[in-house]
Amino acid sequence: MKEGKEMNFAIVGCGFISKKHAEAIKNLANAKLVAVCDKVESAMDPYVAQHGAKPYTELSEMLEDNSIDVVCICTPSGLHAALAEQIAAAKKHIVLEKPIAMTIEETNRIINASKKYSIKLAVVHPNRFRPVVQELRKIIEKGLLGKISHATCIVNWNRNQEYYDQAPWRGTKEHDGGVLMNQAIHNLDLLLWFMGKPEEVYSMEATRLRNMEAEDVSTGVIRFENGALGTVQAATTVYPKNFEESITIFGEKGTVKIGGMNALYFEHLDIKGLSEEETRDLKLSVKADPWGIPGHQCIIEDMIKAIEEDRQPAVTGDDGKQALELVVAFYKSAEKNQPIKIGNKGE
Ligand SMILES: NC(=O)c1ccc[n+]([C@@H]2O[C@H](COP(=O)([O-])OP(=O)(O)OC[C@H]3O[C@@H](n4cnc5c(N)ncnc54)[C@H](O)[C@@H]3O)[C@@H](O)[C@H]2O)c1
């Protein structure tokens, strides 16, 4: 792939989240949306009208277009694996919505296909690009918090019954999962990015207020490989609207909480090695532009650079797998009512 070439994108699954992909592609000078695929023809109309994209109801037909470089997968989560395998076999790079898949077996199939056909695979965990998240990651990388004792991760949001009733796949264990798999997986990804690999989890799940198969409230504890502990509390039952999304890290030389209704700000920033002025400036710089460049745009832009520079994308298939493994371990722990080991030690 020559540097500076315009990259041709396609989208499969033209529902809610596809809009963010299309918008991101439109905002990038070197990207173009040339094709879209959906089983429902009318879902593709806006992309035909606004982007001049060619519509397909059959993915196999769309994949015959040799001009397509990258396909964004925006279908229900239970379909990710089969579609990713098909797209990888057609030698197109993949931007894959979260969760990477619904099971570890499906996830391995996706990662293996990406390796077999030498294509780039990026998983959409866009919150990593939020300014406050980038700053906290730098703080941890520099070792400014010292030895970390524990962390808390909270997602107390509202998704009402109408949300789950929008489509038959929502809230099902096979195609969507509950609050952990669908919403909090973004926060679990961040928690792992900050804290490192998990070793063991213990969790309880419940479906309290929504009429759905999967969980609408979840609590769990994690022991990380480095010995630190973590707690996770997530729900979509909160009355009447989103309440809190936060991660707090407690270290021997500092305590940092990123939070708000979305985790966009430093709610608490107290680090031994940072002066009062440095602390104030850091808080203000985040407050001045809390969302930064939209996360989906960062992911798409990074994919273009990864192709041009022939490197891994910023959020890889293995990153997507780590977050998925944590969710699966939570579910298994709740089902068996016992602690579950992760990685080499268990799952
Ligand atoms: N990153 C984020 O912040 C974020 C936010 C919302 C959703 N998501 C993820 O995006 C995915 C889609 O969610 P959504 O809310 O956009 O769902 P949605 O129901 O609004 O859209 C899904 C679309 O896929 C189409 N579709 C279904 N099967 C298909 C097939 N075999 N081939 C082609 N098209 C098909 C449907 O017709 C529909 O238009 C899910 O994996 C979800 O977890 C991510």
Ligand 1 contact via 131 beta carbon (within 6 Å)? no
Testing ligand 1's pocket by substitution, the residue of 97, 123, 128, 291 carrying the most ligand atoms inside 8 A of its CB is 97
Ligand 1 contact via 182 beta carbon (within 6 Å)? yes
Distance in Å, CA 71 to ligand 1 centroid: 14
Six token digits for residue 40: 């429902």
What is the distance between the alpha carbons of residues 127 and 104, in angstroms, rounded to a whole number? 23
Q: Classify 171 as helix, strand or coil.
A: coil
Nearest CA to ligand 1 atom 39: 15
227 has pLDDT over 80: yes
**Mind listing the pLDDT tens digit for each residue in 269-309?**
999 999 999 999 999 999 999 999 999 999 999 999 999 99
Six token digits for residue 135: 């700053």
Q: How far is CA 237 from CA 161, 208, 216, 285, in A?
A: 9, 8, 6, 33
Q: Where are the domains of the chain?
A: 7-127+295-315, 128-291+325-341
Distance in Å, CA 17 to ligand 1 centroid: 6
User: Which atom belonging to ligand 1 lies closest to the Cα atom of 80?
Assistant: 41
Distance in Å, CA 63 to ligand 1 centroid: 19
Q: If you search the block for the tokens 């009512």, which residue do you land on?
A: 337
* Domain 128-291+325-341 CATH class label: alpha beta
Q: Are strands 254-259 and 93-97 parallel, antiparallel or unpaired?
A: unpaired
Ligand 1 contact via 320 beta carbon (within 6 Å)? no
33 DSSP 8-state letter: E
What is the distance between the alpha carbons of residues 94 and 214, in angstroms, rounded to a whole number? 28
User: Chain-wide mean pLDDT for the chain?
Assistant: 97
4 has pLDDT over 90: no
Could you say which architecture CATH assigns to the domain 7-127+295-315? Answer: 3-Layer(aba) Sandwich (3.40)
Ligand 1 contact via 82 beta carbon (within 6 Å)? no
Residue 346: the pLDDT is 54
Nearest alpha carbon to residue 286 among 298, 268, 301, 272: 268
User: H/E element holding 45?
Assistant: helix 45-51
Q: How far is CA 276 from CA 217, 256, 268, 281, in A?
A: 39, 14, 13, 9
Q: Classify 160 as helix, strand or coil.
A: coil
Ligand 1 contact via 12 beta carbon (within 6 Å)? yes
Residue 305: the pLDDT is 98
Distance in Å, CA 313 to ligand 1 centroid: 22
What is the distance between the alpha carbons of residues 196 and 145, in angstroms, rounded to a whole number? 14
What is the distance between the alpha carbons of residues 255 and 250, in angstroms, rounded to a whole number? 5
Ligand 1 contact via 74 beta carbon (within 6 Å)? yes
Residue 5: the pLDDT is 83
Q: Classify 331 as helix, strand or coil.
A: helix
Residue 119: the pLDDT is 98
- Please report which confidence band the pLDDT of residue 1 belongs to, taking 50, 70 and 90 as the band edges: very low
26 DSSP 8-state letter: H
**Mind listing the pLDDT tens digit for each residue in 30-69?**
999 999 999 999 999 999 999 999 999 999 999 999 999 9
**Mind listing the pLDDT tens digit for each residue in 86-145?**
999 999 999 999 999 999 999 999 999 999 999 999 999 999 999 999 999 999 999 999
Distance in Å, CA 13 to ligand 1 centroid: 5
285 DSSP 8-state letter: H
The answer to pTM > 0.95 is: yes
Ligand 1 contact via 17 beta carbon (within 6 Å)? yes
What is the distance between the alpha carbons of residues 316 and 306, in angstroms, rounded to a whole number? 11
Residue 23: the pLDDT is 98
**Mind listing the pLDDT tens digit for each residue in 243-272?**
999 999 999 999 999 999 999 999 999 999
Residue 284: the pLDDT is 98
Length of the chain: 347
Distance in Å, CA 244 to ligand 1 centroid: 25
User: Which atom belonging to ligand 1 lies closest to the Cα atom of 18?
Assistant: 16
User: Which atom belonging to ligand 1 lies closest to the Cα atom of 126?
Assistant: 1
User: Which atom belonging to ligand 1 lies closest to the Cα atom of 77?
Assistant: 41
Distance in Å, CA 187 to ligand 1 centroid: 20
Residue 344: the pLDDT is 61
- Would you say the CATH fold of 128-291+325-341 matches that of 7-127+295-315? no
Nearest CA to ligand 1 atom 36: 13
Ligand 1 contact via 144 beta carbon (within 6 Å)? no
Residue 343: the pLDDT is 76
Q: Is the distance from CB of 169 to CB of 102 less than 8 angstroms?
A: no
Ligand 1 contact via 43 beta carbon (within 6 Å)? yes
